[in-house]
Amino acid sequence: MSIHLQNIGKHFGATRALEPVNLDIHEGELVGLLGPSGSGKTTLLRIIAGLENADRSRETSKILFGERDVTNVHVRDRRIGFVFQHYALFRHMTVYDNVAFGLTVMPRKRRPSSGEIRSRVFRLLEMVKLEHLANRYPAQLSGGQQQRVSLARALAVEPDVLLLDEPFGALDAKVRQELRRWLRHLHDELNFTSVFVTHDQEEALELSDRVVVMSDGRIEQIDSPETLYRVPKNRFVFEFLGDVNHLEGRVRDGVLTCGDAHLNVDLPDGHEELLLRPHEVRLAEAPSAESHLPVTITAISPVGAEVRVELEADWLAKPWLATVRHADFERLALRRGLRLYAHPRQWHRFPEAESKAPEQRHVA
């Protein structure tokens, strides 16, 4: 089921929560709404669900599920499944009864038979790998198990659209990662259309077919995770999606100078600020003719596929982060207090004028 939003805005009194937005979500797509607190992502999700109404003053506002106009349809009649951050399970009901609840309260004409309900509930419990816990109560389950029950309950009514509001926010990091993989697998298996809200960049980039990046009630960019990360449309998107190093100074005769550091750049004279990702910083034991950026290692985190190295220097307003391969970590014998030189592989520049496109340069 596709979703089409046209000119959807929202005010709470005099406060603007959501500027008029247009958004098309394709059938079978998993779309993440990503942004900081107050960006409007949860408001947008609740409007799609029918839990909030868009501004009535906009005559052209429209919400379509496929060809069905649901703009003024009550939430109970929109045929949506909703998964909350804190599970919202009925604590006095068993796992089975929680999953069956939406089916048992359907109008009599639409309600499946008791046999059909039982068959559907156990089929869903098998999908979420909880059929052996059907007679337990929520208090007897872990957080991850409770969230899977919540998802099974949302899917039991066979919704046209599945909506998830920070579905993994209440879980610890390892369980979140496991459930992300599991949800992506389940989504691919069942091919339902779903929209989820998150402020976790890694979660959005790992789960989504496309990500909607939001800020201050606006949509900043809609793209695939790879395009968002590699070709951000503005500085906000670049800085929000991952760690960023800042190199600020004055350019004169093609050299950017900051304290006792300098970097050759092909830019006009004047003040400049360049941005670099941690993986775009190479560490070496000596400077080069093009780059003289002395740094000192202040912290090392060797956990993961790469080693994260924190760097400080007199010419840096904030510490830098660099990521290096474990082989380079061993070759350079990295340790706290070691003095090295940073060499940018690539840098990015975002001119203040909105008419100018973001610029990135590879360093030879």
Mean pLDDT computed over 76-88: 86
Which CA distances in Å does 319 have to 79, 113, 247, 303? 50, 63, 11, 20
Task: Read off the pLDDT of residues 180-229 as tens digits, 9 standing for 90 and up.
Answer: 888 888 888 888 899 999 988 988 999 999 999 999 999 999 999 999 98
pLDDT at 355: 43
Length of the chain, in residues: 364
- CATH topology (fold) of 245-362: OB fold (Dihydrolipoamide Acetyltransferase, E2P) (2.40.50)
Q: Is the pLDDT of residue 134 over 80?
A: yes
Q: Is the pLDDT of residue 363 over 80?
A: no
Q: Is the pLDDT of residue 21 over 90?
A: yes
pLDDT at 220: 96
Q: What angle do CA 98, 100, 105 make, to 5 degrees?
A: 105
> Which residues belong to CATH 3.40.50.300 in the chain?
3-240
pLDDT at 175: 78
Task: Read off the pLDDT of residues 259-302 as tens digits, 9 standing for 90 and up.
Answer: 889 999 999 999 999 999 999 999 999 999 999 999 999 999 99
CA distance 275 to 67: 44
CA distance 127 to 142: 17
> Which residues belong to CATH 2.40.50.100 in the chain?
245-362
In the chain, pLDDT over 90 holds for what percent of residues?
A: 68
**Coil, helix or strand at residue 190:** helix
- CATH topology (fold) of 3-240: Rossmann fold (3.40.50)
